[in-house]
């Protein structure tokens, strides 16, 4: 039955290519996806979906009930990034927008979320137009502000659970800076948990020539940076994944002033709860101990200002969907390496209490990015997500994305799948 639906991809592809080019030309920043969600809502209504808009800001869902069977939720994210596009595409963005700080910034779909929207809408269309091929309920969810790791939780907090039937499974996908001949999934931890912490340490300001009258927060901060870098190498068991990065260290204004305080921005990555709490506890212990060693004027402050949940795929869902991928894509379906990137997708299934799968697929022709090295070898430098040159090729990326999403959904909703 699945193959029946996929034989119609060519019928829906041109409309979605047009939509993709339109979305790519007109990206919107996180929580500003008004035009995008309007387009999506109109399309879902025309296809016969029951649509709820304005969930968590610009989020929306379309629900299609088509007889008894499983309830499947599939999610796409909608936001662009403050990046000036340098892709050279004929449909490149020249859009600007006002960011939350009031600055005018360029905006680009540099993470491929426009591809996610187009592919999920195409799956929604295939299901709406071929209802005899499946049975159950399909929920297409479009979330804002993935790039702020905030949009999924915003939809949950705004009562998502009361607007939709409880799903049996949730699905999501991401196009990546990888060769286009890959669709990759894995059971268990697929994307890392991410935690950002602002640490403020308080010394005592003084003249640069009279250090004995003060407590130097720059020396203190430097000791903290060095010591934090020992957490992963000395406290985490070899072979376990963890990252502790100090991404910003700000203090002082002038060479002859010892400032009063310093601010450090930290980012932690982990693949399980134990490592996550080990890293967080070690950071706090190290900072407090170094502040004590310096005789600080006040205790340090910790502001946990942004975190992304662990993306931990259900082995059962992976096994079912990956078998369907292998059937569909042959050796293009591969096991995914765990990624150090992060996502907020899992906030939705976690809140609804349902198992989930998040997979990735490649969007780039490696031949385009092959360069000859001085020694005669060839190397491939495909742009990563968020690069100003991030530009998935239309063919076959969109077709693969539509086929992957539809295949995964149909592994639950095809008439012969319901009894499985």
- Which DSSP helix (H) or strand (E) runs through 74? strand 71-77
Q: Which is nearer to Zn ion, 229 or 307 (CB)?
A: 307
By beta-carbon proximity to Zn ion, the closer residue of 137 and 385 is: 385
Query: DSSP letter at 337?
Result: P
Determine the Cα–Cα distance for residues 402 and 116; give it in Å rounded to an integer.
Answer: 9
Distance between CA atoms of 245 and 228, rounded to whole angstroms? Answer: 8
Instruction: State phi, psi for 402 to the nearest 5 degrees.
Output: -65, -45
Binding mask 59-98 for Zn ion (x = CB under 5 A): ----------------------------------------
Tokens standing for 235?
A: 């406290």
Q: Which stretch binds Zn ion (CB under 5 A): 35-43, 111-119, 376-384, 391-399?
A: 111-119
The residue (of 174 and 399) whose beta carbon lies closer to Zn ion is 174
Applying CB under 5 A, the span of 63-71, 107-115, 227-235, 263-271 interacting with Zn ion comes to: 107-115
Q: Which is nearer to Zn ion, 172 or 203 (CB)?
A: 172
Q: Cα 157 to chain center, whole Å?
A: 19
Closer of 221 and 349 to Zn ion (Cβ):
349
Give 123 or 143: the residue with its C-beta nearer to Zn ion. Answer: 143
- Tokens 């506890």 correspond to what residue? 281
Closest CB to Zn ion among 261 and 346? 346
C-alpha 320/C-alpha 330 separation (Å) is 15
CB of 113 to Zn ion, least distance (A): 6
- Closest residue by Cα to residue 176 from 224, 223, 115: 115
Shortest Å distance, C-beta 109 to Zn ion: 9
Q: By CB under 5 A, is residue 23 in contact with Zn ion?
A: no
Closest CA to 134 of 44, 43, 3: 3
- Of the candidate spans 84-92, 108-116, 355-363, 372-380, the one that interacts with Zn ion by CB under 5 A turns out to be 108-116
Q: Minimum distance from CB of 79 to Zn ion (Å)? A: 8
Q: What minimum distance in Å lies between the beta carbon of 65 and Zn ion?
A: 30
- CB-based burial, 52-82: b 16+ in 10 Å, e otherwise: bbebbbbbbbbbbebeebbbbbbbbbbbbbb
| Number of chain residues interacting with Zn ion (CB under 5 A) | 1
- Tokens at 330, concatenated: 């042959």
Kindly indicate which of the ranges 18-26, 110-118, 387-395, 398-406 contains the residues binding Zn ion, using the contact rule CB under 5 A. 110-118
Shortest Å, Cβ 388 to Zn ion: 13
**Residue nearest Zn ion, CB atom distance:** 111
DSSP-derived pairing of the beta strands 136-143 and 311-313: unpaired
HSE-CB at 179 with a 13 A cutoff on CA atoms is 9
Nearest approach, Cβ of residue 81 and Zn ion (Å)? 7
16 labeled binding residue: no
Q: Please, which residue, 345 or 412, has the CB nearer to Zn ion?
A: 345
**Does the annotation list 86 as a binding residue?**
no
DSSP structure string for 232-288: HHHTSPTT--EEEEEEEEE--SSTTEE-SEEEEEEEEEESSHHHHHHHHHHHHHHHH
Q: Which of 111, 197, 287, 324 binds Zn ion (CB under 5 A)?
A: 111
Q: Is 8 known as a binding-site position? A: no
The reply to whether 111 sits in an annotated binding site is: yes
Q: How far is the CB of 176 from Zn ion (least distance, A)?
A: 9
The helix/strand/coil state of 327 is helix
- From the list 5-13, 104-112, 294-302, 401-409, the region that binds Zn ion by CB under 5 A is 104-112
Q: How far is the CB of 206 from Zn ion (least distance, A)?
A: 44
Specify which residues 173 forms β-bridges with.
Answer: 359
Q: CA-CA distance, 190 to 62, in Å (whole number)? A: 27
Residues that bind Zn ion (CB under 5 A): 111
Task: Give the annotated binding-site residues for Mn(2+).
Answer: 111, 113, 147, 174, 386
Task: Give the annotated binding-site residues.
Answer: 111, 113, 147, 174, 386
């Amino acid at each position: 039955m699945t193959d029946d639906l996929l034989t119609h991809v060519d019928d829906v592809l041109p409309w979605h290519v047009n939509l993709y080019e339109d979305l790519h030309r007109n990206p919107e920043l996180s929580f500003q996806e008004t035009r995008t969600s309007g387009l999506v809502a109109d399309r879902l209504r025309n296809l016969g979906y029951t649509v709820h808009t304005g969930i968590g800001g610009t989020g929306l869902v379309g629900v299609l009930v088509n007889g008894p069977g499983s309830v499947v939720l599939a999610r796409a994210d909608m936001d662009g990034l403050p990046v000036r596009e340098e892709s050279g595409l004929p449909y490149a963005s020249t859009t600007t927008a006002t960011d939350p700080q009031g600055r005018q910034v360029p905006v680009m779909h540099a993470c491929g979320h426009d591809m996610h929207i187009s592919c999920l809408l195409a799956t929604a269309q295939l299901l709406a137009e071929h209802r005899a091929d499946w049975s159950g309920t399909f929920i297409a969810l479009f979330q804002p502000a993935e790039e702020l790791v905030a949009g999924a939780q915003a939809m949950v907090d705004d009562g998502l659970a009361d607007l939709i039937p409880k799903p049996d499974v949730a699905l999501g996908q991401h196009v990546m800076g990888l060769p286009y001949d890959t669709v990759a999934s894995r059971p268990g931890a697929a994307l890392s948990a991410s935690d950002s912490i602002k640490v403020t340490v308080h010394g005592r300001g003084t003249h640069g020539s009279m250090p004995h009258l003060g407590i130097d927060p720059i020396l203190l901060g430097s000791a903290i940076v060095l010591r934090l870098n020992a957490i992963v190498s000395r406290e985490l068991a070899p072979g376990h994944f963890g990252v502790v990065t100090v991404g910003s260290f700000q203090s002082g204004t002038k060479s002859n002033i010892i400032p009063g305080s310093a601010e450090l921005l930290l980012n932690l990555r982990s693949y399980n709860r134990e490592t996550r709490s080990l890293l967080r506890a070690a950071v706090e212990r190290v900072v407090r101990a170094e502040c004590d060693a310096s005789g600080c004027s006040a205790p340090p402050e910790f502001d946990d200002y942004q975190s992304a949940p662990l993306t931990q795929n259900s082995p059962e869902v992976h096994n079912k969907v990956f078998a369907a991928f292998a059937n569909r894509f042959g050796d293009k379906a591969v096991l995914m390496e765990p990624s150090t990137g992060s996502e907020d997708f899992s906030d939705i299934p976690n809140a609804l209490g349902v198992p989930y799968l998040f997979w990735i697929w490649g969007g780039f022709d490696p031949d385009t990015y092959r360069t000859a090295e001085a020694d005669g070898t060839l190397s491939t430098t495909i742009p990563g997500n968020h690069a100003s040159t991030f530009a998935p090729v239309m063919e076959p990326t969109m077709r693969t994305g539509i086929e992957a999403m539809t295949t995964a959904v149909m592994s639950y909703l095809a008439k012969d799948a319901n009894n499985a």
